[in-house]
A and B are shown apart, each in its own frame.
Chain A
Amino acid sequence: MKLHHIQSVAKYESILLRRSWNYRVFTILILLFIGILQAVTLLAGQNGWAIPAIPSNIPYVALYMFNLGQAAVAIFLSSDFLKRDKKLDTSEVFYVHELSNAEYVFGKIWGNVRVFLLLNLIVLAMVLFFNIMSPYAKVDLGAYVVYFFLISVPTLVFILGFSVLLMLILRNQALTFVILLGYVGLVLFYIGDKFYNVFDSLAYSLPLMRSDMVGFTNLPLILTHRGIYFLGGLSFICFTIPLFGRLPNTRRNFYIWVFWGSLFLLGAVYCAYRHVTTILHNNSERAVFLEINNKYVDEATMVVDAYELEVEQQPESVSAAVRLVGTALRSSRSYIFSLNPGLIVDAVEDGQGRSLQFTREKQIIKVDMGRNVTQGDSLTLAIRYHGRVDGNFCYLDIPDEERLKERKTNVMSIDKQYVFQTPQYILFTPETYWYPRPGISYSDRTFDWQQAYFSNYRLRVKTLPGLIALSQGQELQTADGEQTFTADYPAQAVTLVIGNYAKATAESDSVQFRLYTLPSHRLDIAELDSITDTIPGAIRLLKEQIERQTKLEYPFKRFSVIEVPAQFISYQRSWTAAQETMQPEMVLFCERGFSFNEMMIENTIRRQKNWAARRGGQQIDDKEAALRAINEILQIFLNEDSDFNITQTNRNQLELTTTPNPYYFFPQLYNFRYNIFSSAWPVANRVIEVYLRNKQDDQGWERNINGISNNEKANILLGDHSFRDLLANIEYQDLMDNIIAMESSELFAPAEINMGQTAVQDSLLALLNRNTFKNIRFEDILASMEQMASCRLIDILSTWEKPRELPFYIIKTPEVINVNDRGKETFVMKLTLTNASQVDGIVNIRYEIGNMMFGGPGMRFGSAAINVDPEQMRKLELKAGQTKQLITLWDEAPRAVTVNTMISKNLPASIQLPIRNIIEESRRVTEKEETLLLADGTGSSVEIIVDNEDSLFSLTEPRIVGLLPEWLNANTDTTFRYRGVQGGRRPVHWTPTTNSGYYGRFIRSAYVVKSGDGSQQAVWKVPIPSPGFYEVSYWPYMEGGGGFGFRNNRQNGEYHFQIIHGEETEDAYLNMQRPTNEWENLGLYYFDTDTVRVVLGNDTELRTVTADAVRLVRRQ
């Protein structure tokens, strides 16, 4: 093959491409697009922190964007060249030359490739220019090269090879173009990260983010993945040669290129095979780990009181020795421990240094003590081991689906790693089992593994030169660069970080705050220098605020924020609020805080200034702005949820989900300090924690979007499953907090009835504080509380074992009388509630008095409980069938009452009853605060009400309204019947939804439909007991108060009713311009038939129609 020929063809092919208008337009557009994007991101700093934070992201994102565009254009242009060759005789003047087909095809493709490669280089040069000019980002030149080869080159070779081959086979440019674009579209919008990314030719979902700290963590995977497409592309190009429509110079060439094509194809297939099998192997290996855990589930274990760990870092491994002293939990001859299966155990000895027999099966070490050990006996063991920690062993309880789910920030796809072990960097969290821990890790046969115990730790670390080790406890630098860490308090586990870290400290309130970053990641920000001495004060204020709100104290002497590689990720677990990112006295914070825009400190400071100017028109100086920025950043640790995602499910439903904030500070105050354990209920610690946090979220915007609140979902689930089953069910992980909150709130409700909520919480806290850093039995806590509150709590635990029958309540609109006694006003409120079910229950009542606002979603932890007059929060027990009337007296006008029905069938579970009509009376106050037991509070003999939940209510069959609207409205998820009806898209079919404002006995629901021609109707069949005059009324509540609710065009809006009795049909109209949200009169009618049909059509000028309840009242 003559290179000269290839270059000649390539040269003139490039000339053609460069001179084509398609190419020029594309080039200008893409350069503009990427240029603007870079300017916004790197110069203006307006596109978030994630890209500039990690310098390699800059070329990554630019090439990622460019790659999508170039793939589409390359398809078009490359398929074009063969069309041109086919059509014009002109090509034949070149065909008659001596060059071979291979030279010609290679030349053509190289001509195209090199033009695109050049464009890639231009794009990269432009990006580099912005990168250098950027005040926010550093430059990582290596990344420019790496991503060029990882993203652009394989994609180009593949796309060009594929399109040319397809063009030769199909011999139709349009068809080729459609197929290839369809393929790209399929990859982008449908396949994405499915099938382990194997079809992701554009590296769209492939985790390609490269950490500044450890580089790529999945390089073999990336290389095999890109190999699939690079080799695949080469193979297609080779196959193109024998298929090319020109007689070959010699026949032999045909076979040569078929051979090479096949070879490359085999290579590509091998890469694909490697790629998939590596992932599948990991999955099956995890299954083996689980199987082994299950096998050893019944083996005897011990509780370790003290660990002495010695670790020496070596370039490719670690060697360690651990001495553990503890107590046997059971009598046995052998005891088991778990140690990461990547670590090789060298020797096990007893306290006297005698060698002990042991067996090692993957993660398990089973040590034969050489004698029978009795329960409670003290045990001492020394274990020596070395090796590399295997990340695949972590999070065995997290399903593959969750573990392999794509992780994206901005457009960057990030690898998920749980452990790092390179010559430059080590991160071992307890999840890795980097030192032996008694018992097994995850097993699906028991919950024991979730149980943590406090132990004393002492750690000695020898790092490689130039690196420092970080861990919990008092640090001491010894000779030869060795460091020792002695924990101040017992801990449940210990973490080891080794790296080249720079340290910044601030001392406040006898706590040392430390920030460990890469030296190049130090916060060298001029504005911060001016407030260096004020930062400790800011931290102290915040700490005090948190401690006041939670009534919990930060127990440790230091708090370290340690920067860890971007790929590090943790998962939420049902039994603890602490993720692996949070460790006692330290938080493992993502590299440069890239996922938090606040961490772009210059911008945060500027924003603070702008806010101050916009809000109060006040000017704040740099110092004040910097201080506020620091406060804003510190808030990162106070948010319970880090991410609110509104996604569209089933094509018509918006779904709001929240992701727990992995950096939520709360575990420092609670989880690392208290340990409530129960062999029956490992969730015990969480139950107490959630109860103390007084976690209540209900109503509000989340509910408006999803149509159902998380608490209501939890209720429905608790009616169908036992609490125990739900705890083990990963499917409902996102509702776990709510489920636990419902249960914990019910668990302590009997105590609260007797003592009041505040007293119960205070007592619990006092109990915990007497037992800090100790393992406390859950059952003991309950027993103590029982004693204090004189009630039974422990029995409630038995209800956690099975699905339960849920109570439901009927709540009447409260009556309020303003009694004016010679100028002194007293507001008397009477609230009547009935438990209409066969089971006992408890409700929580909250009065909103005067103008004060409290509660509500989006507040920081613990704050729901503070500053609320205990009088305004009451729990009321309602036994099956009971009706109670609560009479309360207030000095100020009550605004609303919210009845939270806790675990019940009520929908909404939390009912807000605004106080609208206050009756004025001038007299003395005769009422007193009391709770009356009434005979029966429900029903009324004079009125007949038919609600949409009743069997007498029906809807017209939905009409076929066209395939597209049908598809858009398709709802396949039937787990939760009621849905949200958001303003954006109006439901095409009658859609059930719930709201406090709707009418209903215990389910306050209605059906909503898009307005139309009147063919969609709701029908209430009302039985008439005897002929006579009846007043017909309608409950006209429309959802629309909230930001996500309906914005009906109220102009001339009215509902059209037909009242049908016998042969007669009468029309009635209800003006909806200003609905009172109470019964509205439709007129007085004489009925002499058995039933009357009230029909509501969707023919209205309003955007939607709501079908709720009809009432008939007999008039004499």
Chain B
Amino acid sequence: MSLKLNYKKISPNILEACWPPEIRQSTLMEMMIMKKRIISEWYEELWDVNLGYHCLSLHFKDHFPLNEVVSKLENFSSEKFQQEAIKRKRWFIPVLYEGKDLQRVSEITKIDISDIVKLHQDKPYLLHFYGFMPGFMYLGGLSPKLFAARKDRPDPVIEKGSVAIGGKQTGIYPMDSPGGWNIIGKTPLTLFNLNKQPPIQAQPGDEIQFHSIEKTEFESIQKEIANHQFELKYEYI
């Protein structure tokens, strides 16, 4: 089976391979397999390989031979993608659902706060890619019932660990930042940690499962983190 990819040479150093413009899990998995191949083929020649929802970019250190690179990518994509398995993990993220904008989200969605909390952790979310700021996950799978427009006036500071809904997306602020998303909760975890290599553990293709915790548990996890006793929980999927 061959993938029908659209190749765009963006500059003498940058090539994008694009899948059909849709948000799909299968696209993400194909992109991850392709990315693995790309890195093993051109590790020395590349600055970076980045993902969006449907575009994979190859950023070369220098000019690259277009025909040669595209024909190799075509070869990669003609191989049987199904045979390749990417090891995927499901990460469990504890959340204290007491965000200051829960009432606002309840008014927009016309759903009770307790049901918002239930719905938000009902299913795992798919991590498509990182963008917007260091360690910020683009998560797919927010229930349309929870779509809630961003605020007209962004908050000057949204605290690190805040779990929020912005339009059709949900996410976790990895560091303090201004932002217009509706804050529904907070995780005690430090997801983006520059003292660790890599600074963040979840990979595109992994899943994020939120689960509700009480204030006492939030505080005990904070203590465990401070004492370096906390281990982020995950399972293979």
Are A and B genuine complex partners? no
Query: Which residues from chain B sit less than 8 Å from chain A, CB to CB?
Result: none
Query: Which residues from chain A sit less than 8 Å from chain B, CB to CB?
Result: none
